[in-house]
A = this chain, B = another copy of it.
């Protein structure tokens, strides 16, 4: 850590700052420049990062050098992590292909959609039972019955399932039914919820918040990792942007950035990132080309009847087409879509 002092910092202030640093069992290394004095903090920077050094009189700027996350960093784990979702491998060249309707609505429909996406090559089935809706008057999900349907359909088609958990009180319940617990973008910094899934034995799909930096995202993963759950998959699903043509702003560069900072797998969600069916296939391919460990796409067999997010869903036939293109691209890059063969849904 480097502390840049104000041009007019007094000797007394400098001494006071050095004293504070040494009280934290760190060393202060003074460097007097032509216009400014700079103090290098030597030792375990983590101790200093949580202290309010910018509030010390005479301090102009504090520059962190060490990353504030440890377990999520590439330093801690130089090889890419491979997360195991009930037999489906994610990361290290293995691609997750998550598909399904926004919300679980009805068992028969879920069955039809599951059959179609498994046929197209998907390896994880999605479906929301607890839905975070912007309006309190919109459909809030089927709850426990939705979880039951999702699990039963997954078992019938021998495909693991993922669903969102929104409330720390529901983590145990959802973990009984789902192979992968999803934390939605709006709850990325719901720290109570993160701690709770950190205590679970289920892997976690952590979606990036709409205005989260990559470091913010990794700090949230760190919350989960630091509780002992090392099975975390990250997901880019679009940022808040200024162009209303799309629902969000798809940040594909997030993928290689995560790769150079962390060992955790990261997938992309072009459905939420764009909100427009026509843009989903090109953005899905862009994600794979950028190095993503998988793609999350909403699929519904009758979007106009969907109870949630219908307008951004692909039809099963459209999904099949983009899956074929992604297969070709994965092959070119020397990666594979993880096979369902070995997967045993819980």
Contact = CB atoms under 8 A, between A and B. Distances in A.
Interface of A: 2, 4, 7, 20, 29, 31, 33-36, 38, 40-46, 49-50, 52-57, 61, 63, 65-66, 68-69, 75, 132-139, 166-169, 186-187, 189-192, 209-211, 213-216, 219, 222-223, 226, 239-246, 249-253, 255-257, 259-260, 273-274, 278-279, 282-283, 285-291, 303-306, 308-311, 313, 328-329, 332
26 contacts: A2-B4, A31-B42, A36-B66, A50-B139, A52-B310, A52-B311, A55-B311, A132-B189, A134-B219, A136-B191, A136-B226, A137-B226, A167-B168, A210-B211, A213-B244, A215-B243, A240-B242, A241-B251, A250-B253, A253-B279, A256-B283, A282-B289, A282-B291, A285-B289, A288-B289, A329-B329
A219 B132 CA distance: 12
Contacts of A328: 332
A2 B211 contact: no
Contacts of A303: 52, 55
A207 to B, nearest CB: 13
A213 B137 contact: no
A148 to B, nearest CB: 20
A252 B283 contact: yes
B286 A257 contact: no
A341 to B, nearest CB: 26
B214 A55 contact: no
A16 to B, nearest CB: 9
Given A56-B304, A278-B260, A241 B242 contact: yes
Contacts of A252: 250, 252, 283, 286
A281 to B, nearest CB: 8
B215 A192 contact: no
* Shortest beta-carbon contacts, A-B, top 7: A52-B310, A55-B303, A54-B311, A289-B289, A211-B211, A211-B240, A167-B192
Contacts of A190: 166, 186-187, 190
Nearest to A45: B35
A125 B167 CA distance: 29
A174 to B, nearest CB: 13
A106 to B, nearest CB: 15
Contacts of A285: 289-290
Given A34-B42, A50-B135, 10 more contacts: A33-B42, A53-B311, A55-B303, A55-B304, A68-B137, A132-B189, A135-B222, A186-B190, A240-B242, A260-B278
Contact of A286 (B29, B63, B260, B286): B286
A33 B311 CA distance: 25
